[in-house]
Amino acid sequence: MITTALSIRIVSSFFFLVVARYFRVIGRRSEFSPFVEIALVFLLRDLAAITLPDAFFPYTEAAAFAGTYLLFLGWTGGYRRSNRSFRLAVAFTGVVTLVVLLSRIAPAELGSAGRFLFWLFPPGMIAFGFLGITRIDRYTSPRGFDIEMLQPWLQALLVVLAMVHMVVPFLPGQSALILGWLDMAPFLVTMFFLFNLYVVELRGKGRSLRRNAQSIFAFLSGVGNALGQDTTPAAILTSAIDTMVDATDGDGGVAVIVERAGSRVCAVNGLFPPPFAVPDVVKTKPGALQRYLESMTVTDDVPIWAEALRTGRPRLIARASGDLHYAQHATDRTFLLRSVLVLPLYVRGRVLGLLSVIRRGGSQDFTHSDFDHARTMANFVAVTLDNYFSYIRMAEGQRLQRDVEIAGEIQAELQAAADIERGMIFFSGLNRPVRGLGGDYYDVIPLDRDRTAVVICDVSGKGVPAALVMVMVRTIAHIALQETQDAGIVLSRINTGLTGSVAPDRFATVSVAIFDPENDRVSYANAGHHPLMLARTDGGDPGGGIDEIDAEGLPVGIEPDGDYTCRQISFPPGTTALLYTDGVVEALNSAGEEYGTERVTAALGRATAQDRHSRIVLDELMADVDTFIGGAPVQDDITMLVCSNRSRLHPLQNGE
CA dihedral 67, 70, 76, 78 (to 10 degrees): -100
Question: What integer pLDDT is reported at residue 80 of this predicted model?
Answer: 66
Instruction: Name the CA radius of gyration of the chain, rounded.
Output: 33
- Contact of 457 with 473, CB cutoff 8 Å: yes
Let me know if 66 is exposed, middle or buried by CB neighbors in 10 A (0-12, 13-18, 19+).
buried
Find the range with the poorest average confidence among 144-153, 290-299, 573-582, 624-633. Answer: 144-153
Q: What is the mean pLDDT of the chain?
A: 81
pLDDT, residue 206, reads 67
Residue 271, pLDDT > 90, answer no
* pLDDT value at residue 654: 39
pLDDT (average), residues 379-400: 72
pLDDT, position 210:
63
Report whether pLDDT(369) > 90. Answer: no
pLDDT at 109: 53
- How many of the other CB atoms lie within 10 Å of CB of 310? 11
Q: How far apart are CA 528 and CA 24, in angstroms?
A: 40
CA-to-CA separations, 70 to 21, 34, 128, 460, in angstroms, rounded: 19, 10, 9, 66
Residues 6+ apart with CB under 8 A from 185: 157, 161
Per-residue pLDDT at 611? 75
Give mean pLDDT, residues 307-332: 89
Across the range 364-379, mean pLDDT stands at 85
- Once rounded to an integer, what is the mean pLDDT over residues 513-528? 93
pLDDT digit string (tens) for 524-582? 999 999 999 999 764 444 445 789 999 989 999 888 888 899 999 999 988 999 999 99
Q: CA nearest 621: which of 573, 572, 578?
A: 578
pLDDT in tens, 390-428: 777 766 644 555 555 555 666 667 677 888 988 889 999
Distance of alpha carbon 629 from alpha carbon 241, whole angstroms:
52
Query: Taking CA 619 as the corner, what is the angle to CA 629 and CA 507, rounded to the nearest 5 degrees?
Result: 65
CB 186 within 8 A of CB 194: no
DSSP codes of every residue in 390-439? HHHHHHT-SSHHHHHHHHHHHHHHHSPPSEEEETTEEEEEEEE-SSS--S
- Quick one: what percent of the chain has pLDDT higher than 70? 82
- Predicted pLDDT of residue 222: 52
Q: What pLDDT score was predicted for residue 106?
A: 55
Decide if 459 contacts 469 (C-beta within 8 A): yes
Q: Give residue 469's pLDDT.
A: 85
Q: Phi-psi bin for 163: left (phi > 0), alpha (psi -120 to 50), beta?
A: alpha
| 172 pLDDT above the threshold of 70 | no
d(CA 563, CA 554): 8
Q: Is the pLDDT of residue 447 over 80?
A: yes
pLDDT at 168 over 80: no
d(CA 452, CA 436): 28
